[in-house]
């Protein structure tokens, strides 16, 4: 599994942004064919994204495309274009049930056969944006082996709850927690929602730290300036990394000696602590995530 600390939204109808999105250093770029594109521009945006996927070198940055839902006139054409273009991940918006995932999976399978893509090469991600979807998050997360992550879309969600977003995010706490637990139960990633206050760096960092503490693997971002802020939150400090290295080294030493007991500085180290240390090293790029 790769790092997905940041997923940068890019409107599908903005040619210059499609070309240059990766230069800001996000872990993933998300080409948006849904909310960022008006109905009269859907066909043109789809063609632009297809050409970007086929012709631009993104230097290893993951390429995600948010399609329109299959309940719209655009969803199936979006899938055909982005699968043939070679997208790494398709992000399905407004996912309310596992049946939504299964329907997209079938369409992707058909497109892979049609365009000669390797079977299973197009991954899926589900954005959950309603109370119904949150309550079905566990089933959604386990609906397909193609699914690599689930994400929360806060604006639609709080509208569905008949409330609004607040600075402390109390209205999202239950939904965020349920989504992370569903992701962990399925062995996939959890991606937090966007923070719309582009000029509010303090607010962004506060929300990113909350998301990390809750267990999210990363955050969707809407402006390049938010990338370095998010990476700063999810990247371990030198002290955290040094401690993780010592824990992993102690575990390796115990294994080499055939001992089932791991100790460090006179304290017992159990398996969950070793696993957390390995994740810290993964976030620092020292071991595979």
Q: Is residue 95 included in any domain, yes or no?
A: yes
- What residue numbers bound the domain in which 279 lies? 238-283
Whether pLDDT at 28 is above 80: yes
Confidence at residue 22, expressed as pLDDT on a 0 to 100 scale? 94
| Residue 150 contacts residue 125 (beta carbons within 8 Å) | yes
Looking at the fold, whether 72 and 158 belong to one and the same domain comes out as yes
CA distances from 103 to 20, 69, 77, 160, 233 (A): 32, 10, 14, 24, 36
- The verdict on 223 and 246 lying in the same domain is no
* Residue 289: inside a domain: no
Residue 285 has pLDDT above 80, yes or no: no
Q: Both 148 and 274 in a single domain?
A: no
Please tell me whether residues 162 and 258 are part of one structural domain.
Answer: no
**Alpha carbons 277 and 246: distance in angstroms, whole number:** 9
What are the φ and ψ backbone dihedral angles of 111, each rounded to 5 degrees?
-65, -40
Q: In this predicted structure, what is the pLDDT of residue 92?
A: 97
Do 209 and 155 lie in a common domain?
A: yes
Give the pLDDT confidence of 157-207 residue by residue, as tens digits. Answer: 999 999 999 999 999 999 999 999 999 999 999 999 999 999 999 999 999
Domain boundary among 234, 249, 275: 234
Q: What is the CATH number of the domain that holds 96?
A: 3.20.20.60
Distance CA 229, CA 263 (A): 35
Does residue 58 belong to any structural domain of this protein?
yes
Residue 288 lies in a domain: no
Per the structure, the count of domains in the chain is 2
Q: How confident is the model at residue 98 (pLDDT cuts 50, 70, 90)?
A: very high
Q: pLDDT, tens digit, for every residue of 111-141?
A: 999 999 999 999 999 999 999 999 999 999 9
Average pLDDT for the chain: 93
Mean local confidence (pLDDT), 220-238: 94
Residues 228 and 252 in one domain: no
Report the run of H or E that residue 240 belongs to, with start and end: helix 238-256
Does residue 221 lie within any of the structural domains? yes
What is residue 289's predicted lDDT score, i.e. its pLDDT?
A: 54
Cβ contact 220:191 at 8 Å: yes
* Same domain (yes/no): 268, 136: no
Say if residue 168 is in the same domain as residue 223.
yes
- For residues 163 and 253, membership in a common domain is answered with no
Q: Are residues 57 and 190 in the same domain?
A: yes
Phi/psi-derived region of residue 272, left when phi > 0, alpha when psi is between -120 and 50, beta in every other case: alpha
Question: Is it the case that residue 257 has pLDDT exceeding 80?
Answer: no
- Do residues 26 and 104 both lie within one domain? yes
């Amino acid at each position: 599994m790769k790092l997905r600390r940041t997923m940068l939204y890019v409107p599908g109808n903005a040619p210059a942004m499609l070309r240059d999105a990766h230069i800001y250093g996000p872990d993933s770029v998300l080409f948006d064919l849904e909310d960022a594109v008006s109905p009269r521009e859907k066909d043109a945006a789809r063609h632009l994204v297809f050409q970007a996927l086929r012709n631009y070198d993104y230097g290893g940055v993951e390429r995600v495309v948010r399609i329109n839902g299959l309940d719209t006139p655009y969803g199936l054409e979006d899938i055909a274009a982005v699968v043939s273009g070679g997208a790494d991940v398709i992000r399905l918006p407004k996912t309310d049930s596992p049946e939504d995932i299964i329907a997209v999976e079938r369409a992707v399978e058909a497109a892979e056969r049609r365009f000669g893509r390797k079977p299973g090469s197009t991954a899926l991600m589900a954005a959950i944006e309603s109370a119904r979807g949150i309550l079905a998050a566990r089933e959604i997360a386990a609906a397909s082996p193609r699914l690599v992550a689930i994400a929360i879309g806060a604006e639609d969600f709080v509208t569905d709850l008949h409330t609004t977003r607040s600075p402390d995010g109390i209205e999202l706490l239950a939904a965020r927690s349920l989504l992370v637990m569903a992701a962990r139960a399925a062995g996939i990633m959890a991606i937090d929602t966007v923070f719309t206050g582009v000029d509010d760096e303090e607010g962004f960092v506060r929300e990113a730290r909350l998301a990390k503490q809750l267990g999210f693997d990363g955050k969707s971002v809407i402006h390049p300036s938010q990338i370095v802020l998010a990476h700063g939150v999810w990247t371990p400090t030198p002290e955290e990394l040094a401690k993780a290295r010592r824990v992993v080294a102690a575990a390796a030493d115990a294994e080499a000696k055939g001992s089932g007991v791991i100790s460090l500085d006179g304290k017992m180290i159990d398996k969950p602590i070793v696993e957390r240390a390995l994740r810290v090293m993964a976030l620092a790029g020292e071991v595979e995530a």
